[in-house]
Amino acid sequence: MFYTIEELVQQATERCGGNVAQLMIETEIELTGRSREEILTLMSRNLTVMKSSIVDGLSESKSVSGLTGGDAAKLDRYIATGKTLSDRTILSAARNAIAVNELNAKMGLVCATPTAGSAGCLPAVLGVASEKLQLTEQDQLDFLFAAGAFGLVIANNASISGAEGGCQAEVGSAAAMSAAALTLAAGGSPYQASQAICFVIKNMLGLICDPVAGLVEVPCVKRNAMGASYALVAADMALAGIESKIPVDEVINAMYQVGSSLPTAFRETAEGGLATTPTGRRLAQEIFGE
**pLDDT digit string (tens) for 119-166?**
999 999 999 999 999 999 999 999 999 999 999 999 999 999 999 999
Is 70 exceeded by the pLDDT of residue 289?
Answer: yes
Residue 262 CB neighbour total at 10 angstroms? 20
φ, ψ at 270 (rounded to 5°): 60, 30
Half-sphere exposure of 160 (CA within 13 A, CB side): 21
**pLDDT digit string (tens) for 80-128?**
999 999 999 999 999 999 999 999 999 999 999 999 999 999 999 999 9
Domains assigned to the chain: 5-288 (1.10.4100)
**pLDDT digit string (tens) for 226-251?**
999 999 999 999 999 999 999 999 99
The CA distance from 189 to 212, in Å, is 40
End-to-end CA distance of the chain: give it in Å, rounded.
51
Give the pLDDT of residue 184: 98
**pLDDT digit string (tens) for 8-51?**
999 999 999 999 999 999 999 999 999 999 999 999 999 999 99
DSSP assignment of 128-182, as one string?
HHHHHTT--HHHHHHHHHHHHHHHHHHHHHS-S-HHHH-HHHHHHHHHHHHHHHH
Average pLDDT, stretch 62-78? 98
- Do 12 and 23 form a contact (C-beta atoms < 8 A)? yes
Non-local (6+) Cβ contacts of 138 within 8 A are none
pTM: 0.97
Give the pLDDT of residue 62: 97
Residue 110: left (phi > 0), alpha (psi -120 to 50), or beta?
beta
Is 90 exceeded by the pLDDT of residue 290?
Answer: no
Would the CA dihedral through 249, 251, 256, 261 be positive or negative? positive
**C-alpha dihedral (182, 185, 186, 189), degrees to nearest 10:** 90
What is the SS3 assignment for 267?
A: strand
**pLDDT digit string (tens) for 184-226?**
999 999 999 999 999 999 999 999 999 999 999 999 999 999 9
- Do 201 and 150 form a contact (C-beta atoms < 8 A)? no
Is 70 exceeded by the pLDDT of residue 179?
Answer: yes
Average pLDDT, stretch 168-184? 98
Average pLDDT, stretch 52-58? 98
Give the pLDDT of residue 113: 96
What is the SS3 assignment for 209?
A: strand
Give the pLDDT of residue 99: 98
